A and B are shown apart, each in its own frame.
Chain A
């Protein structure tokens, strides 16, 4: 296993909250509240992040280099300048993909074992 892959693997498995946070940033930079709302919406309220949990995740993701703070503002007029925006880093993207592949392999296994029939 190449060193980089090993590095990525060391983050797995991700907690659902972390995975959803990374996913929320996959299609564009967001500030904290936007991440929180996106996660809540995408999971139909099953993953609910409070401010504490969210920023503990952000702190860890920043420290691990999965996300970065960004200075770009989508439109300063539309937004409060004090808000910090976060962007998915290349490493974070690889980690998210690796986690999804891991989940896929589990889903595949479940299909093979006929635990759940294929829908498509």
Chain B
């Protein structure tokens, strides 16, 4: 054979050929080089520089056109082959696809939620400069908003912030073009749009000079989406007059399409200046104007840091300002301090921000754990399969398949698996986020929610990354195996045993033990929360929880004044109480375990005046006379309210035992008087009721004041109905009666007391804990049982020969089944023991969140461990039975 020295042209052409698939190159590469060499030779001997250039250009074009076509052809062939192979091993394929779908789905779902709450920056300019400012004071355990007055003071000469904005969502009724509907509106300070850097898409936005005095700027800016949907994107809407809660307002603009408000949970439809607050939701007699009251902490506040100012510097600067205000206004600001955190840490609002942070941390940890379990499981199954396919790979390799080609093919198989799993994962992720949205939606009933958890590019790319990584991992295991495998040994033994199989089976068993342990930990934690929930349900909350229905209304949002509201409340109560299936009905301004109780200070008459700022703080609700009977709140002494306790008679109140004890220790409080505002009228105590729980089930007894609804009609109230039968059955008719009493007032929320407790502050933490840990625990258990099945099935397949021999020698089927099952039980038991050791420290951590159950409750640990072992037996039953069906004759013949 003649060998010619390779010219530079040859080498260049060879380099070009690398664009082609290696298989194609292997089959035809040398010939192609020969052809090119001949072409090149012809042109060089008889052509010009021009024809040489043309040859190169044509060759380049030729290869560039051929390469993708050939790659695609191979890919199609590989995918086809992969699909056939997977169809050939349905048990493995289904297990792997289910594992991947669950793992990727849950991870994607969690990431979507985390993304919506924590990572997605606000759609404004320079969102990282925004800092949430919240009030911390001593009367409620959670950070909350600021008052407008305080905000205005903080804005003056602020060295840390270039400016601060305030906003407060509300849900008025909008009348436009003859239609009316309830919408979510953000009441904003005038500088809101300017500070955020949000331009109008149409018309103008609210100007910084607007909205400084009550009612001064009756203007409205529409959210872009709402403008598109409600007003069909009509530009003529600018200048149109509409009514908000019955008050005329002019639409002046539409906000930029990219801007979706500063809320992370609410879909805001329109923006109004904060000056409209008192107009659309007038304060009751004992409340002060939103623009005036310094102790009405309703505004969420964001500040934009000045360039170069750190969060700590801002904290220090604001602390100085808060202290100055406390000196200046000790009445209202004495104990007030501020909490400054990055905007993303205060979602969905400052009060729940810390809670969400913790929950998010738990979420992330669980997601990581789940992903780890998924990967372990897939690796496990593939290792087992790689060993099983060793023989196939060896044969194909022996008949001349190139190793590169084999690896490419196995990788394709892995990616095909991941693609199918990933495809199925999307609906799972969608279900998880959907469930979450429904959960949160029921939790926050104040304003109808439309939570936007849309998959954005981060979520999609995260899912794709997970899918691809699993695919490569999935393909790599058998591929590496194919490389390492000793072809001869594999052919000889029929792929049954390998020197390395001992190590691998240790790895596999360790993975299974780990999975079982983690599942146990999660299930135990879930069980502990479940038990706490059970205990919490039995707790004495101060009223009877069964057979109660709650219906929320907000007549103030229709622009009703005090007298109109009172008339509405009376009319509704009269109609509902007359229904045959209703035992009694009553109104309460805020039901127990809602998040927005009002508070009051108590100034006691006939007592040396307490130092200003030191007045005892209490929560306050307004109720109609029938409330105590309807909710069965026990009256300890004195009397309940009557219809005579109205505006024309003396101001009265009923207090709970804690308040009576705090203010009149050792005395009979009946007939005593106190003022509920510094300059308010004296209010006489006419009754004392038994203490109850009002915000959290684990709270220490708090003071509570009940006032007659008739003496101070609130803007919104909840109808509490005690029904004879199931409260939810009566819900439709009760809603109908409310509509019959006044078709304009909307029922904004309706639920039984049981679900109110489940979804509200009361039990939410136990439920979330139980649901989350339970969900992950069950997922983990599912995955572990799939893994266990794989390991046992593999074990049986490897021992088929040995089992056959033993059957031939007279072993009974029951013995063989027992032996296989014993193996599974052993693995599960080791996993359970490791799991218990793992659970103890975690359980101690969640201990403070539990109610009436020890973090080491033996019953919970024991029953979960039993379940695990039972599942292990179930998972290994199929392979165990297969072992029995081994035909000894077949086995011996194969020898």
Beta-carbon contact of A84 and B69 below 8 Å: no
Q: How far is the CA of A82 from the CA of B65 in the complex (A)?
A: 27
13 contacting pairs across A/B (C-beta < 8 A): A32-B32, A36-B39, A50-B58, A52-B32, A52-B62, A53-B66, A54-B35, A55-B28, A56-B24, A56-B70, A80-B2, A80-B34, A82-B34
Q: Of B38, B63, B66, B67, which contacts A33 at CB under 8 A?
A: B38
Most buried by A among B20, B34, B39, B58: B34
CB distance from B785 to the nearest CB of A (A): 45
Residues of B within 8 A of A73 (CB): none
CB distance from A20 to the nearest CB of B (A): 16
Residues of B within 8 A of A56 (CB): 24, 66, 69-70
CB distance from B661 to the nearest CB of A (A): 93
CB distance from B138 to the nearest CB of A (A): 80
Is B436's CB within 8 Å of the partner chain A?
A: no
Q: Of B1, B31, B59, B61, which contacts A55 at CB under 8 A?
A: B31
Beta-carbon contact of B35 and A32 below 8 Å: yes
Residues of A within 8 A of B44 (CB): none
CB distance from B47 to the nearest CB of A (A): 14
CB distance from B103 to the nearest CB of A (A): 40
Residues of A within 8 A of B58 (CB): 48, 50
Residues of B within 8 A of A54 (CB): 32, 35
Residues of B within 8 A of A65 (CB): none
With contacts A33-B39, A81-B1, A82-B1 taken as known, whether A52 is within 8 angstroms of B65 at the C-beta atoms is yes
Q: Of A53, A58, A81, which contacts B62 at CB under 8 A?
A: A53
For the complex of A and B, 9 pairs with smallest distance between CB atoms: A50-B62, A52-B66, A55-B28, A51-B32, A52-B62, A33-B38, A51-B35, A33-B35, A52-B63
Flag B30-46 by CB within 8 Å of A: 1 or 0 each: 11101110110000000
Q: How far is the CA of A14 from the CA of B39 in the complex (A)?
A: 26
Q: How many A-B residue contacts, CB cutoff 8 Å?
A: 60
**Which partner residue on chain B sits nearest A49 by CB separation?**
B62
Is B27's CB within 8 Å of the partner chain A?
A: yes
Chain A interface residue count, CB cutoff 8 Å, equals 20
Beta-carbon contact of B36 and A51 below 8 Å: yes
Beta-carbon contact of B34 and A50 below 8 Å: no
CB distance from B709 to the nearest CB of A (A): 85
Q: How far is the CA of A55 from the CA of B66 in the complex (A)?
A: 9
Q: How far is the CA of A83 from the CA of B20 in the complex (A)?
A: 21
Residues of A within 8 A of B69 (CB): 56
CB distance from A97 to the nearest CB of B (A): 27
**Which partner residue on chain A sits nearest B37 by CB separation?**
A33
Is A102's CB within 8 Å of the partner chain B?
A: no
Beta-carbon contact of A84 and B31 below 8 Å: yes
With contacts A33-B38, A33-B39 taken as known, whether A52 is within 8 angstroms of B31 at the C-beta atoms is no
Q: Of A33, A48, A49, A58, which contacts B34 at CB under 8 A?
A: A33
Flag B247-280 by CB within 8 Å of A: 1 or 0 each: 0000000000000000000000000000000000
Beta-carbon contact of B70 and A82 below 8 Å: no
**Which partner residue on chain B sits nearest A36 by CB separation?**
B35
Residues of A within 8 A of B2 (CB): 80
Residues of B within 8 A of A41 (CB): none
Flag B6-33 by CB within 8 Å of A: 1 or 0 each: 0000000000000010001001101110
Is A116's CB within 8 Å of the partner chain B?
A: no
Residues of A within 8 A of B63 (CB): 50-52
CB distance from B748 to the nearest CB of A (A): 68
Flag B818-841 by CB within 8 Å of A: 1 or 0 each: 000000000000000000000000
**Which partner residue on chain A sits nearest B64 by CB separation?**
A52
**Which partner residue on chain A sits nearest B25 by CB separation?**
A55
Residues of A within 8 A of B61 (CB): 50
CB distance from A94 to the nearest CB of B (A): 25
Q: How far is the CA of A36 from the CA of B42 in the complex (A)?
A: 13
